[in-house]
Amino acid sequence: MKFDILTLFPGMFSGPFDESIIKRAKDKQLIEISLYNIRDWAIDRHQTADDAPYGGGAGMVMKAEPLAACIDSVKTLNPASTVVLTSPHGRRLTHTIACELAERPGLIIVCGRYEGIDERIRSLYAEDDISLGDFVLSGGEIAAMAIVDAVTRLIPGSLGSSESAESDSFGDGLLEYPHYTRPPEFKGLTVPDQLLSGHHELIRKWRRKESLRKTRKLRPDLLSAAVLTREDRKMLTEIEQEEVCGM
């Protein structure tokens, strides 16, 4: 997978992309990340990449010319890659969308800044538009990091042998079950007996039920879209009964 990131602040990526899973994936040559400073395509001596908006108003707008030239240059190198804008207008990033993006040969991620980009860039180049949610960030760099991280985890071989993307929250449409490690007792709270039993089927059922319980409590909206088995529905009924009984 090839990630090309177009940004006004390439220095922001040096830490996040040099640690943990992303670093391992780069070392294994499972992914390749290239950073491009949009200002390098500006035509004036001040490398101007923004200007005041037509019609007036606060803030600045990213100029069309340097951004278009940058996209054209990178697209020439990787013609099969998808141009993705990071902006509040986009689809909200979900696990399903991350899976969709992971199937593509490459992503050219354009990081918005200031009041946004000249709308003509969206009209001429955007093949996808991604948002992290309904809140304001200083720019699209953090969104780009999130996209790269979410997609990289889904690439076979990127996770260690003890890690699994399938069991993560949202991997099956539900929140993940609670986790515990040593010691077995901490400040009066103990690890559930099922996890200490060594009984694989008992552990599986406990984890599934707790996943359903957590999703029902914290994100009930996910249950309506999740594919539930007969066992899942039975567990949900048990959870409802336990809540009624105050268990």
Residue 45 identity (one-letter amino acid): R
Residue at 84 is within a domain:
yes
What is residue 165's predicted lDDT score, i.e. its pLDDT? 59
Residue at 169 is within a domain:
no
- Which of 108, 136, 152 corresponds to the end of one domain? 152
Residues 101 and 191 both lie in one domain: no
Residue at 117 is within a domain:
yes
Contact between residue 151 and residue 98 where contact means Cβ atoms under 8 Å apart: yes
Beta bridge partners, 130, equal 91
Residue at 9 is within a domain:
yes
- For residues 158 and 114, give the distance between their C-alpha atoms in angstroms, rounded to a whole number: 34
The DSSP result for the chain, as a single string, is -EEEEEES-GGGGTTGGGSHHHHHHHHTTS-EEEEEEGGGG--STT---EEPPTT--SS-EE-HHHHHHHHHHHHHH-TTSEEEEEEEEEEEP-HHHHHHHHTSSEEEEEE-BTT-B-HHHHHHH-SEEEE--SS--SBTHHHHHHHHHHHHTTSTTSS-TT--STTSTTTTSSPPPP---S-SEETTEE--HHHHS--HHHHHHHHHHHHHHHHHHH-HHHHTTS---HHHHHHHHHHHHHHHTT-
Return averaged pLDDT per consecutive 10 residues of the chain, 247 residues in all. Answer: 98 94 96 98 94 94 97 97 95 96 98 94 97 93 98 92 56 88 95 96 97 95 92 97 86
Residue at 71 is within a domain:
yes
Residues 74 and 135 both lie in one domain: yes
What is residue 163's predicted lDDT score, i.e. its pLDDT? 52
Beta bridge partners, 34, equal 4
- For residues 34 and 6, give the distance between their C-alpha atoms in angstroms, rounded to a whole number: 9
What is residue 55's predicted lDDT score, i.e. its pLDDT? 95
Over residues 185-226, the pLDDT tens digits come to 999 999 999 999 999 999 999 999 999 999 999 999 999 889
Residues 131 and 209 both lie in one domain: no
Residues 146 and 220 both lie in one domain: no
Residues 12 and 64 both lie in one domain: yes
What is residue 164's predicted lDDT score, i.e. its pLDDT? 59
Residues 124 and 204 both lie in one domain: no
Residues 21 and 68 both lie in one domain: yes
CATH of residue 197's domain is 1.10.1270.20
Q: Which domain holds residue 240?
A: 185-244
The number of distinct structural domains making up the chain is 2
What is residue 162's predicted lDDT score, i.e. its pLDDT? 45
Report pTM.
Answer: 0.88
Over residues 176-193, the pLDDT tens digits come to 999 999 999 999 999 999
Name the residues annotated as catalytic.
Answer: 88, 115, 153, 168
Residue at 49 is within a domain:
yes
Residue at 174 is within a domain:
no
What is residue 169's predicted lDDT score, i.e. its pLDDT? 59
Residues 18 and 129 both lie in one domain: yes
Instruction: Give the tokens for residue 187.
Output: 């400040």
CATH of residue 93's domain is 3.40.1280.10
Residue at 74 is within a domain:
yes
